[in-house]
Structure 1
Amino acid sequence: MKTIRRGFVTGLAGLITTVAQAGSDPLVLWYDSPAADWEREALPIGNGAMGAMISGGLAAERVQFNEKTLWTGGPGSKRGYDAGIPAQSMAKATAEVIARIDREAQLPAEAVAKELGHKITGYGDYQTFGELVLEFPESASPAKNYRRELDLGNAIARVSYERDGVKYLREYFASYPDGVIVMRVSADQPGHIDLGVRYAVPDNRSRNVSARNCRLQIAGALHDNALKYIAAAQVRAIGGRCSDGRDEVRIKGADSAEVVLAAATNYRQHYPDYRATDPGPALKARLDSAAERSWDDLRERHVRDHRELFDRMKLDLRATMPSVPTGKLLVSYGTAEPFADRALETLYFQYGRYLLIASSRAGSLPANLQGVWNQSTTPPWNADYHVNINLQMNYWPAYSTHLEETTGPLFDFVDSLVQPGQRSARQIVGAGGWTLFLNTNVWGFTGVIDWPTAFWQPEAGAWLAQHYYEHYRYTRDEKFLRERAWPVMRGATQFWLDALHVDPRDSKLVVSPSYSPEQGPFTAGAAMSQQIVFDLFTNVIEAAPRVGEAQFGQRVQRAMAQLDPGTRVGSWGQLQEWKSDLDDRTNDHRHVSHLFALHPGRQISLDSTPELATAARTSLDARGDGGTGWSKAWKINFWARLRDGARAHKLLGEQLRGSTLPNLFDNHPPFQIDGNFGATAGVAEMLLQSQQDEIHLLPALPPSWESGAAQGLRARGDVTVDLQWCRGELTEAVVRTGKAGAVTLRSGLFVHRYTFVSLGRDISVPLAGGNERRTFLAEAGKTYLLRRNDPAVPHCEVNRSKI
């Protein structure tokens, strides 16, 4: 068995390496000119807390950078701040709206917002920190062989060109181990590096700039809320001279120059004050430590850390990367050779994983609407955290693509919302437990706004609680379930035990008032509302005995028996969006939120609820394949759950053609990062699913991905899976089990003969549920190989032709 297993793993890795060498690097974005537009063309680097965008200008490199805690608004804001929670209880007004819905069945959004909306002040915006400007000498000579690139595998951006016979190279990375952004400018001939380094920052803050011993520092406070900020860049010249100016550092005649940048604020994720002490000393210590290290040491530490996460999963779709700039590759998508399309799809998938690593690491805030990257003081939607799908969507690929460590900031953030969320539950609804509504910020905002069509979604807390239970389902970490997940899940459930309303029409428990996101009237029991509560109750009932709360679980079970499940088939075969049959078959609204039960929920499946799955398909067909970036990405996941690989792939194509910018950022428009993350998760769903307590191999393989391989997919139950397929048929699977227990594998291809072995012994695998399933008892920490061995197994050659 050891020889077989090693042969498969080595063969797959070798295959991916061979294909990569056949053309351009398959995991590099590259361009042949500087970025002319920040949003569309600049290239992102990040270490979770800090991010930067690389434009690659010739006369000046304007490194726009961010640090996630720099926000206006919140406590101390000159505009005032109340977290969206009114001082006087709104519980009576909420009860009156519920009573009106009982009488009238529907209420206009404007009427409900008039009663329950809240005019907010001091909400705040995520801020650009500014720019670190690297200025180069003017030259009359044109640059030749210009190339600007982002190497996803090493998380390094580069700019290279030739001028007057000298080759210049700039390199940039954001180091998580050292908490800094690092830059180097070099030339292939000595003494040719001259540059100035200075800051450019917005005027909405005070600023004090100093340069001492080639350390350029800027510090001050935001005018709005007096939040303190500081950034410092240590500049060093190799083979030349570094000197301090009044508000800049200059390098002359160097062989190379290095810049190490750190930034911080005195924000603290702690309700209700959100302030820490002066950030200066801690930043100085961090920068001093990084500045003592050589460029090679900093780079090696960064690359090792990044690759430990990024390299866990590989995808090969049997495609070589053509030697054309990424922007041109994107423009040609769908009209170029199939190999080029598959190369772009692979790059886009791994770009989503790269962005998640770069924007969400332990110790920082979670990825926001733009990850960590923002060039504005008034960004779209405040660059905040929308919790009617967007924040949740950011973390859909975390587990399935083997990046579970990136979820730490999400849990820290949600934990910090529980206490203010208890006030919101009490003041706005008159319930116990905790919740929040449509959007939140870094200042514990858990109340409501006054935008009629997007202000009311108290199910948001329940949806966020799903991520805690998904962490347990993937990792089977009992300690996490008891100590971290259960308090959040229990509090979210307590809210709904108090807040659910008995519908006088049928005595079912419903969410009221209920609003299907961004459209329709306020009613009782809209489908998405009910499905989210159903999902929460399902998870709590499963978890309760494991954490010693069986009695609470029984209480939830009794409520579940009375709960309207939010899944019914309407008059034209659709899954109803509302409890009453109000759906218009000509409606093509981008929100298809009433299919939550299909994804990310598990209430609807082709096997257990085929009628509902068919109704979901009917709804998706009616809505069409259009929409904004995040909407198309969600539809990829829907179609994957319906096991329609061709339609899921079509939506992936729509995402690339219509909702992707030249730098591969998702375009809402404008840039909004959840589409990147959602599409990456959707690709993983095509290849492996495990939501129904079985591991389904290649459940929605697109016909255009005829042959390929994937390493490192994660399944619920602490299982890692490698797959290889040929001509649409599974040929090999490696299954690594972290925990002991029964594992069920599913494939529509089990009609063929397969050998299943572990540690050199054939394993007798009994049938479970028919020819499509095999169940075995796994040992912890073992590896199992499933290999097709009948004479008809197809043979696939790798096409190594350069496009």
Structure 2
Amino acid sequence: MHKLSLFLLIYIASFSVVYAQKSALTIRFNQPAARFEESLPLGNGRLGALVYGGTTKERIALNEITLWSGGPQDANRDSAYRYLKPIQQLLLDGKNKEAQALLQKNFVSKDDGSHYGSAANTLYGSYQTAGDLFIQWKDTLGRVSDYKRTLDVEKAVSETQFTRKGVTYNEKVYTDFNADVSRIQFSASRKGRLNFTISLFRKENALVTVQQGYLVMEGQLPAGSGKGMKFITLVKPRVTDGRIRVEGNNLVVENATTCELILNTETNYDPVQAKLTAAAILPACKLKIAKALAKTENRSFAEHVRKYQSLFNRCRLSFNGNSTDENLTTDERLEQYQKGKSDSALPALYFNFGRYLLISSSRPGLMPANLQGLWATEYQTPWNGDYHLNINLQMNYWPAEATNLSSLTQPLFQFTKNLVPNGAKTAKAYYNAGGWVAHVIANPWLYTSPGEGAEWGSTLTGGAWLSTHIWEHYLYTKDINFLKKYYPVLKGSALFLKSVLVEEPKHNWLVVSPSNSPENTYIMPDGFKGQTAMGPTMDMQICRSVFNATAAAAKILNTDADFRNELTGIIPKLAPNQIGTKGDVNEWLEDWKDAEPKHRHVSHLFGLYPYDEITPWDTKELAAAAGVTLNQRGDDGTGWSKAWKINFWARLGDGNHAFLLLKELLKPVHSSVLNMSKGGGTYPNLFCAHPPFQIDGNFGGTAGITEMLLQSHGKNNVIRFLPALPDNKDWQAGSLNGVCARGGFVIDMKWQNGALEKATIVNPVNSSPCFIFLPKGLRILDAKGKVIVNAMNSSGVVKCSMLKNQKYTIG
């Protein structure tokens, strides 16, 4: 081959790789956002911003993760426990209709609970926007050209650029990970061409003024009939030339070439103590801005990127397939992907974006990511933007451990621990039980009571499901100090579950009672359609998970030997998973019909994912039944439901079906209208469409992609490479670096032609045995290059002892 031709081929290949990487890291629009679902989200775990990129009037919607209306309340019915035994007996007698009527009357919240998702002006409260920052451009005549608006998830920065009358304007926005403020920088290609008005706006519960060069917005949110959380937002501008003047309650920038805005919002809520404080928030707000102003923009941005990338760069995914046209917007890429056009970078972008969103909405010492993560423009956020505990909050943290963001789970554990005191009161009031309970809904005020509706609000394993994350964190990190700190939370959940077990008469199994299978309805043989039941399958799976985890943790910590023995004795008596007459996994204790066969929740497969008591190799019949269940449910549903199904199919080893669901999750959606049957997909800015927006689908989808490429589960935490790789050509070659496995292992892997080519594995936390499903033809070499395992003739699970921080190679 001619040397020049060879050079060109190398150059083209290199350019393709560079572009593929760029297109896996960038969200792009060629016009301003017309609505929330086209805005670009920024966040540093506390502060959030949504950039609309307007060329006449720019809007940047603001958020602060603790900004909630409402306040503490006692929603428990103190005498509810008196009705527990009658309800349980009615269920034991098969009188579910009567049991549900009694429960609805006496076993729901004392007040109206979450007000069916509309609690902004009640004690329950709602997550709310902090308001808007507006930039009103002065000279808006003339055609706008060369418009581009991007979000770089590798650097956590948004940029908007456009040209008008020969002047190119640039806007750069980021929520500073280092200085903990938001920064907006404007520049013009010609001197003195920045002319605009800066204003803050909130339609209620706030007052805007100008004080000592600051644009100030102060307010206090409602708490039922009283006053709740206080908040303040400050904006401080600085220019390199031109001037800044006051005009009413606005600031006006005139004849500047560059202008930087430093913005901060503070509230008087303490996320660690979970209560309002008397702290003076104005000085705290000013201090952060003053420190930010002391640094140059270049230094500030470099420090921001460095701190952000210390998290983001821990895990990276790329595919080696075909990329897309670099001129396409992200929305256009979604459209073409649905039509079957190759775009290997799009799933990688979705994965990277999911990790970006978690880094941006969950920071140690603060609140966990809520139903909207951190981003909302409403005063009445959908479903109050709260913490739903029947899957949604848990799903938010599914990708954390496996994609090397374990430290970001701290807010989840702190929140869970904070729920315990109220949860103990609720356990006593409703069940006369020890331990603690949380049901379906929770908020920063630590609500643990049942919801206001028996048809959904009585699921009693919300707190228990949260507790399973404690054990999962330990499995990934082997952090004994963490386990010691949170063991009482795990034990308290087990104590409660043990207290609500009753013996059902048909098989003499132990079952929890009363509860729901989340938001679903059964049909009894007599035609009664109900929700209240004893021993729904998901609850029993969670019960086994919590009991096993508590017993294992107690053994590791050398404590509670009697309680540990009691739990291990109870576990075999718990109602097992059952296969129904149609070959599916039963959702309830009895093989009842589904009132809604295509229901979005598939709660009875909790044992398949995120738990792992159903696997294709240890429980083949149950795994086959899980496949039947998934086919019965179908592939439609809300965004988060589709995301959950990706993980299910990945666990079953069906990469093609998992990929089909990923394409469904990436289906373009342009409507915000609530649709819980066939509306799920992805908005133009890659936010997940429930619809409306719920962030759990983004996180569930990221976890699903990870499960397709690497799994660690089952006995001895066996690591499986490419367990659900689809046949799609774009997935046949790629790399995944920094992915984590249970046992404390960190893995880099490459694959070609659909098969593992090379991997490295290290355990930075301890020396321990590693169990690997080793593909045929590969070997494991120790740090010195010595072959310690050889699978040249057949595949299978192999064990090798690993030393701490020693890197082993598979190839």
* TM-score w.r.t. length of structure 1: 0.91
Q: 2:776 aligns with which of 744, 751, 760?
A: 751
What's the counterpart of residue 64 of structure 1? 61
- 1:329 maps to a residue whose letter is R
Residue in structure 2 matching 1:678, options 681, 684, 700: 700
The one-letter code sitting in structure 1 at the alignment partner of 2:56 is A
Name which of 682, 685, 688 aligns with 1:666: 688
Between the aligned partners of 1:442 and 1:769, the Cα distance in structure 2 is 56
State the shift of 1:111 in Å.
5.2
- How far the C-alpha of 1:89 sits from its partner, in A, is 2.5
Q: Distance in 1 between matches of 2:305 and 2:786?
A: 40
Task: Give the SS at the match of 1:218.
Answer: strand
Q: Which residue of 2 aligns with 1:642?
A: 652
1:768 and 1:511 mapped to 2: Cα distance? 49
Q: 2:329 aligns with which of 325, 332, 339?
A: 325
**Mapped pair 1:300 → 2:302:** yes
Paired amino acid for 2:776: V
User: Could you tell me which amino acid in structure 2 is paired with residue 98 of structure 1?
Assistant: Q
Contact between 1:169 and 1:186, CA under 8 Å: does it hold in 2?
Answer: yes
| Residue aligned with 1:107, SS | helix
Moved more, 586-595 or 384-393: 586-595
- Equivalent position amino acid for 2:395 in 1: M
Q: Secondary structure at the match of 1:233?
A: strand
How far apart in 2 are the matches of 1:602 and 1:662? 34
Per the alignment, residue 116 of structure 2 pairs with none
**What are the within-5 Å matches in structure 2 for residues 72-111 of structure 1?**
72-75=69-72, 81-82=73-74, 84-86=75-77, 88-107=78-97, 109=100
Stretch moving more, 540-549 or 45-54: 540-549
Q: Aligned residue for 1:571? A: 581
Matches within 5 A, 1:321-720: 321-323=324-326, 324-338=328-342, 340=343, 342-483=344-485, 485-520=486-521, 521=530, 522-549=532-559, 550-565=561-576, 567-584=577-594, 587-657=597-667, 658-692=680-714, 693-704=717-728, 705-720=731-746
Instruction: Confirm whether residue 777 of structure 1 aligns to residue 801 of structure 2.
Output: yes
Deviation at 1:189, TM superposition (A): 1.7
1:327 & 1:182 partners in 2: Cα distance? 27
Letter in 2 for 1:331: E
Partner secondary structure for residue 226 of structure 1: strand
- Sort the Cα spacing of 1:599 and 1:783 in 2 relative to 1 into closer, same or farther, 3 A: same
Residue 228 of structure 1 deviates from its aligned partner by 1.3
Please give the alpha-carbon distance, in whole angstroms, between the structure 2 residues aligned to 1:273 and 1:345: 40
User: By how many angstroms is 1:595 displaced?
Assistant: 0.3
Change (3 A) 1:390 1:586: closer
Aligned to 2:337, what secondary structure does the other structure show?
coil
**CA offset at residue 698 of structure 1?**
0.8
Q: Deviations over 1:722-747 (max 9, x none)?
A: 11111111111111222211001114
State the secondary structure of the residue aligned to 2:60.
strand
Q: Quick check: 1:271–1:420 contact (8 Å CA) kept in 2? A: no
- 1:20·1:321 contact (CA, 8 Å) conserved in 2? no
Offset of 1:226 from its aligned partner?
3.4
Note if 1:741 corresponds to 2:768.
yes
Mapping for residues 133-148 of structure 1, pairs under 5 Å: 133-148=134-149
Report the secondary structure of 1:764's partner residue.
strand
Given residue 83 of structure 2, which amino acid in structure 1 is its aligned partner?
Answer: A
Instruction: Check whether the contact 2:274–2:418 (CA below 8 A) recurs between aligned residues.
Output: no
Per the alignment, residue 199 of structure 2 pairs with 198
Shift of 1:18: 5.7
Classify 1:490/1:288 alpha carbon distance in 2 versus 1 (closer, same or farther; 3 Å). Answer: same
Q: CA deviation at 1:280?
A: 1.8
Q: Choose 538-547 or 642-651, whichever is displaced more.
A: 538-547
Cα pair 1:644 1:700 within 8 Å, conserved = yes
Please say if residues 206 and 217 of structure 2, whose CA atoms lie closer than 8 Å, have aligned partners that are also in contact.
no
Give the superposition deviation at 1:168: 0.9
Alpha-carbon shift at residue 586 of structure 1 (Å): 7.7
Mapped contact 2:21–2:345 kept (Cα < 8 A): no
CA apart distance, 1:243 = 2.3
| Residue 218 (1) aligns with residue 217 (2) | yes
Partner of 2:182: 181
Select between 235-244 and 591-600 the one with higher mean Cα deviation.
235-244
Query: How many residues are matched?
Result: 757
Q: Residues 4-23 of structure 1: CA distance to partner in whole angstroms, max 9, x if unpaired? A: xxxxxxxxxx9998613368
Q: List gaps (5 residues or longer) in structure 2.
A: 1-11, 113-121, 522-529, 668-679
Secondary structure at the counterpart of residue 690 of structure 1: strand
Q: Which of 740, 744, 747 is the equivalent residue of 1:721?
A: 747
CA 1:743–1:457: 2 relative to 1, 3 Å: same
**Deviation for aligned residue 1:223:** 4.1
Residue of structure 2 in register with 1:49 after alignment: 46
C-alpha contact 1:395 1:407 (8 A) present in aligned 2 = yes
Q: CA deviation at 1:585?
A: 10
**629-638 or 721-730, which deviates more:** 721-730
Q: Note if contact 1:24-1:320 (Cα within 8 Å) is conserved in structure 2.
A: no
The question of whether the paired residues in 2 share the 8 Å contact of 1:23 and 1:321 is answered with no
Kept after mapping to 1: 8 A contact 2:183/2:263: yes
Contact 1:271 1:419 (8 Å CA) reproduced: no
Structure 1 pair 266/769, CA: closer, same or farther in 2 (3 Å)?
farther
> Are 2:220 and 2:228, in contact at CA under 8 Å, matched by a contact in 1?
yes
- Alignment check: 8 A CA contact 1:740 1:779 kept: yes
For residue 105 of structure 2, the aligned residue among 101, 114, 120 is 114
Q: Within 2, Cα distance between the matches of 1:768 and 1:267?
A: 60
Q: Any conservation in 2 of the 1:243–1:250 contact (CA below 8 Å)?
A: yes
The answer (yes or no) to whether the contact 1:129–1:201 under 8 Å persists in 2 is: yes
Provide the C-alpha distance between the structure 2 equivalents of 1:159 and 1:128, rounded to a whole number of angstroms: 23
Contact 2:237–2:260 (Cα < 8 Å) also in 1: yes
Q: CA deviation at 1:278?
A: 2.4
CA–CA distance in 1 between the matches of 2:446 and 2:794?
51
Q: Partner of 1:799 in structure 2?
A: none
Cα distance per residue 1:397-454 (max 9 Å; x no partner):
0011111121111111111111111111111111011111001011111102222321
CA gap 1:745/1:352 in 2 versus in 1, 3 angstroms: same
Q: 1:671 to 1:635 in 2, by over 3 A?
A: same
Separation of aligned partners in 2, 1:155 and 1:17: 23
Question: Take 1:498 and 1:247, find their aligned partners in 2: how far apart are those partners?
Answer: 59
Q: Distance in 1 between matches of 2:89 and 2:147?
A: 67
| Whole-angstrom CA distance in 2 between matches of 1:73 and 1:270 | 18
- Aligned residues of 2:387 and 2:443 also touching (Cα < 8 A): yes
Deviation at 1:608, TM superposition (A): 1.1
C-alpha separation in 1, matches of 2:666 and 2:334: 7
Q: Secondary structure at the match of 1:700?
A: coil
Q: Give per-residue Cα distances to partners, 1:684-711, cap 9 Å, x unaligned.
A: 0001111121111111111111222111
CA RMSD of aligned residues (A): 2.0
Change (3 A) 1:737 1:413: same
Q: Which amino acid counterpart does residue 599 of structure 1 have in structure 2?
A: Y
SS at match of 1:591: coil
Letter aligned with residue 566 of structure 2: R
- Which whole-Å CA distance do the structure 2 matches of 1:730 and 1:307 have between them? 28
